Amino acid sequence: MSRRERRRVRGDPAPFHERDLDADAEAFLVDWAAELHRRRPLHLVLELEAGAPTARGWVGDAIRHYFDQRANAARQRLHHLLRKGRITLLIGVVFLLGCLLLSHTLSIGGLPEPWRGVLRESLSIGGWVAMWQPLQIYLYDWWPIRDQVLLYRRMAGMTVEVLGHA
């Protein structure tokens, strides 16, 4: 049995340096930080129960490191989303131009008028629908991820005070 497994068997309540922050604790801290004004510095006070292992030296660093890692992961998600946006924008513009050129060509062609109009409008609509995803990404999808990056960066810089019973 490894040292890590022995520690879990004994019920070590806070081995933050070896694993992620508890999901409930993270959700609580993120909700708490999100409610505060963005310009207000964060200060977290942890009070340890009697008999809890002394963790004053590393708990603050571990919490800040955890949120720094979360900020980096969110920044990576934002980077990948914006890259996807650039690729889909290029594809969408090329497809839209192709549809509009084909639509213009059909207006000159020899199809009967009702069919020509339907086909021309269908190509135009199809071309604009191809622009849906890049517009969705650049107008709406990136904001929440950017806000998450900023919140996690703010939390990574918060001061952590550990109080406890010696």
At 47 the pLDDT is 83
Residue 42 lies in a domain: yes
Average pLDDT by consecutive 10-residue portion of the chain (166 residues)?
A: 43 51 89 90 84 66 92 98 97 95 78 81 92 96 96 94 73
Residue 2 lies in a domain: no
HEC string for 35-103: HCCCCCCCEEEEECCCCCCCCCCCHHHHHHHHHHHHHHHHHHHHHHHHHHHHHHHHHHHHHHHHHHHHH
**The token pair that represents 12 in the structure block:** 């070590």
pLDDT reported for residue 7: 42
Note whether residue 37 is domain-resident: yes
Residue 41: CA count within 13 A, CB half-sphere: 5
Structure confidence at residue 8 (pLDDT): 43
**Tokens 């990576």 map to which residue?**
76
C-alpha triplet 28, 71, 29: angle, nearest 5°: 10
How far apart CA 111 and CA 159 sit, in angstroms, is 73
pLDDT value of position 20 = 73
pLDDT (0 to 100) of residue 9 = 40
List the structure tokens of 120: 């021309």
Has residue 104 been placed in a domain? yes
Is residue 14, in this structure, part of any structural domain at all? no
Question: What whole-number distance in Å separates Cα of residue 69 and Cα of residue 77?
Answer: 12
Residue 42: the pLDDT is 93
* Residue 83 domain-assigned (yes or no): yes
In a domain, 12, yes or no: no
Question: For residue 1, what pLDDT is reported?
Answer: 43
Structural domain boundaries enclosing 52 = 22-163
What's the pLDDT score for residue 162?
83
Number of domains forming the structure of the chain: 1
Domain assignment present for residue 5? The answer is: no
Cα(134)–Cα(88) distance, rounded to whole angstroms? 6
